Structure 1
């Protein structure tokens, strides 16, 4: 072999060996998460704004890149199939004596993956759903007689039962026990929230012609206005999606024409999602890229509250789409001690009103309002205190206190308003008052 050819071959071998070594080192660094560690060191040494700026626009290209990922079956090997980027699991195939691997997959999905999964045969025995539907029909009928049907911008004729979790128990204890004894609730809720979670449910029936929702995110920050959202630090935006698990159990079959939930996989990983979903360009992107999966009665879908989603339009001529909407809350998020704020406000209101008369809504006045009154209107009784149009929250104690100071209320007027609000927020004695008509 000529010396030049030998030299060329030697060079090629050296280049290949060097490339292999670099690849090996890069793989090791990736495995050890060295890039993430270096990025964290950079972050630790540079102070950045704690909140998203209302003066800048959220990045649609970033959302586009995140949501164009492909879900790999290798990532979720326990799934029966991947449909439209969504892992589909068949509950009938699992032995629940060992759920660790399955829960690992479900957790990864909501935190880092597509953000949504479907559980086929969540209720293998649908007779419990039939019994539950009869109980719901009785509740809806009674509430319609009490308050009449009411429409909204999602279309008239739809039915929603607020606090169906409590009303179901009072209406039909037997089907209630059978329903919530389903061990899959424990598997799913534990996988994302850990122990100590609390379940709430709202029944939603969308009649033919029921219109689609606008895309949105959910509780907690999803229930805030755009102006309020940017006041919360970035860490809270991330935390909000980790405090709640959203889901729905299909109480009827849900063919695509009936409008099952529209979903944008991977959108829960977009950091600025809570302040972007109302923007026209983000709505347009959602409308062009969402996916929906048909469900059968007894199936369930669970997703991160940070996922961009919306109820679909029921374009059928004669089919009612019925779902039991599941919202599960983390045990964390409650105070260590119970504070009854009303006596505190009553005792200090005249002093606060005088301070406001002199100073206006100064930083000191606002600081006291935030300390003495509740700033969050949940939990509440949504039959009596429904969200404002657009899905916003009811008025909080702090907002009422500020409004009363500005309008010059005396102590008697203020306490009357706060007591009335508390009475309306109490679930006891008010279960089964009425049904709000509300699409979802």
Structure 2
């Protein structure tokens, strides 16, 4: 056969070069994930609802797919064990100084964000002396408050069912400073809190003692959106449903042994990752599924459990005849979520209320109230301002102002109520 002409060879070379160029371009597009970007541009033309609908049912099937995962020991090599999908760590092997703490913190962070959402720290207090002195202080506080004010309720239990100390953090200190100092000097509080929230966090706590016969809670999520009604949750954009879970760390230190029949907290691992969870947990089908699938672990005195506030959980039923389960409930709040400047709303309301009242209850007055007054009732003093309405949260300044405008209050009346609220919210 005759050899190919130079012209044919040139065309073949040009074609090969073109193919190579196209292949290179496709490789670049694939590396840059351009198809996804183009698809994203198409999607960006469609505006989706910014809030979850109170009337639309979250997908139970999607929820089941999420939570029916398995926690692997290989993922958390520092854990002592994995039981019922919950990693368990032995604190006697943890060195809480900054250099050695980092690998532990990486695992704890992963558990809360990407993993089962809950972990147990055995021997959080290997020496029980701080717990014993704290329990003595708690007993005095409970007796004093019971004599002065009677039995208390809480978010999920009727008055008298449990023994509750709101703000046990401050009351413990004032009752027995040396015990308080000893208790909260435990460096493991810092290790765990900074793992999830970083520096500059703030710690609060409440004591809850569940007596024999104390019933189980309904499954729920916690602070912040967990303390709102379903209607209120539906008003917050979807991003806030995700954000709220990263602003608080929940925990509990066992102040007694907690055998299973005493009702230690029930958990549904991985449920913190469900986007619509704050809308879903109140629904009957999700509660039924929780009751079928929850897990619970016994704790010993001095152990601690920490978990994401978005995890579906509930205190268990104390089925014992003569044993009270006692825990110091811990909430650690992130540094962020605070205003840049301090604003005292009361002088502003006092200066403008007469003119505001003249505007009536329209959109302008509503916008002004939202701009000037505090719309969130926390932090507060839950002894003097117990959870209400809805059994979840007390009134906010905005709630009071709206009521004042609707009912035609005079300035002196509204200012008296707001000042009383301010005083009652103080520690």
Answer yes or no: same fold by TM over 0.5.
yes
Aligned-partner Cα distance in 2 for 1:102–1:40: 37
Q: Which residue of 2 aligns with 1:349?
A: 353
The higher-RCO structure (CA 8 Å, 6+ apart) is 1
Q: Which residue of 2 aligns with 1:220?
A: 224
Normalised by the length of structure 1, the TM-score is 0.86
Q: Which residue of 2 aligns with 1:418?
A: 418
Q: Which residue of 1 aligns with 2:303?
A: 299
CA shift for structure 1 position 95: 2.6
Aligned-partner Cα distance in 2 for 1:280–1:199: 33
Asked if structure 2 preserves the Cα contact closer than 8 Å seen for 1:210 and 1:313, the reply is: yes
CA shift for structure 1 position 171: 0.7
CA shift for structure 1 position 148: 1.9
Asked if structure 2 preserves the Cα contact closer than 8 Å seen for 1:380 and 1:426, the reply is: yes
Q: Which residue of 2 aligns with 1:142?
A: 144
Q: Which residue of 1 aligns with 2:180?
A: 176
**CA separation of 1:93/1:34 partners in 2, compared to 1, >3 Å: closer, same or farther?**
farther
What secondary structure does 1:354 align onto?
A: helix
Q: Which residue of 1 aligns with 2:50?
A: 50
Asked if structure 2 preserves the Cα contact closer than 8 Å seen for 1:229 and 1:275, the reply is: yes
Among candidates 282, 285, 288, match of residue 284 of structure 1:
288
Q: Which residue of 1 aligns with 2:94?
A: 94
CA shift for structure 1 position 389: 6.8
What secondary structure does 1:241 align onto?
A: helix
CA shift for structure 1 position 49: 1.6
Structure 2, gaps ≥5 residues long: 1-29
Asked if structure 2 preserves the Cα contact closer than 8 Å seen for 1:160 and 1:205, the reply is: yes
Q: Which residue of 2 aligns with 1:246?
A: 250
Q: Which residue of 1 aligns with 2:274?
A: 270
Q: Which structure has the bigger radius of gyration?
A: 2
> Between Structure 1 and Structure 2, how many residues are aligned?
395
1:184-229 C-alpha deviation (Å, 9 max, x unpaired): 0010000000000000000000110111111110000111111110
Aligned-partner Cα distance in 1 for 2:337–2:40: 27
1:332-391 C-alpha deviation (Å, 9 max, x unpaired): 0111111110010011000010001xxxx3221111010111100100000000112754
Structure 1, gaps ≥5 residues long: 1-29, 428-440
Matched, 1:317 2:340: no
1:161-202 C-alpha deviation (Å, 9 max, x unpaired): 000000011111111111101010010000000000000000
Q: Which residue of 1 aligns with 2:204?
A: 200
Among candidates 343, 359, 363, match of residue 339 of structure 1:
343
What secondary structure does 1:324 align onto?
A: strand
Q: Which residue of 2 aligns with 1:114?
A: 116
Aligned-partner Cα distance in 1 for 2:103–2:268: 25
1:59-83 C-alpha deviation (Å, 9 max, x unpaired): 1111111110000111111110000
Aligned-partner Cα distance in 1 for 2:126–2:396: 42
Asked if structure 2 preserves the Cα contact closer than 8 Å seen for 1:344 and 1:372, the reply is: yes
CA shift for structure 1 position 156: 3.3
CA shift for structure 1 position 94: 2.0
Q: Which residue of 2 aligns with 1:7?
A: none
Asked if structure 2 preserves the Cα contact closer than 8 Å seen for 1:79 and 1:88, the reply is: yes
Q: Which residue of 2 aligns with 1:6?
A: none
Normalised by the length of structure 2, the TM-score is 0.89
Matched, 1:210 2:214: yes
Q: Which moved more, 1:58-67 or 1:317-326?
A: 58-67
**CA separation of 1:43/1:168 partners in 2, compared to 1, >3 Å: closer, same or farther?**
farther
Q: Which moved more, 1:41-50 or 1:243-252?
A: 41-50
1:282-312 C-alpha deviation (Å, 9 max, x unpaired): 1111111111010000000000000011111
Q: Which moved more, 1:246-255 or 1:277-286?
A: 277-286
Alignment RMSD (CA, Å): 2.1
Q: Which residue of 1 aligns with 2:80?
A: 80
Asked if structure 2 preserves the Cα contact closer than 8 Å seen for 1:243 and 1:330, the reply is: yes
**CA separation of 1:330/1:414 partners in 2, compared to 1, >3 Å: closer, same or farther?**
same
Matched, 1:103 2:105: yes
